Amino acid sequence: MNNLPPLEDLRVFCLVAQRASFVAAAEELGNSPAYVSKRVKALEQAMGARLLHRSTRQVSLTESGDRVCRWRATCSTRSAS
């Protein structure tokens, strides 16, 4: 049984966090902001936690979101070694 969320959702989420924007992340990925939003929402549901604070003009990480981004960075660094 695989309890991990899809890696693509994790990648999309971390890009949104880095850019602090769904639109900027979507442009970089070559997808629509709606696609990016759906992927982040799916990750939040899979993790059972809200990962981003959203407002009309701002996106910022929640404490859980920050932990997820740091965890992914650690995993990426280890796999590159």
**pLDDT for res 54:** 92
pLDDT value at residue 1: 47
Q: How far is CA 52 from CA 8, 35, 38, 61, 77, in A?
A: 17, 16, 13, 5, 23
Enumerate the domain spans of the chain: 7-80
pTM over 0.75: yes
Which contacts of 19-25 are long-range, i.e. CB under 8 A and separated by 24 or more positions?
20/58, 20/59, 20/60, 21/59, 22/59
How high is the mean pLDDT of the chain?
A: 90
Report the distance separating Cα 40 and Cα 47, nearest Å. Answer: 10
Fold (topology level) of 7-80:
Arc Repressor Mutant, subunit A (1.10.10)
pLDDT tens per residue across span 31-72: 999 999 999 999 999 999 999 999 888 899 999 999 999 988
Region 2-6 average pLDDT = 73
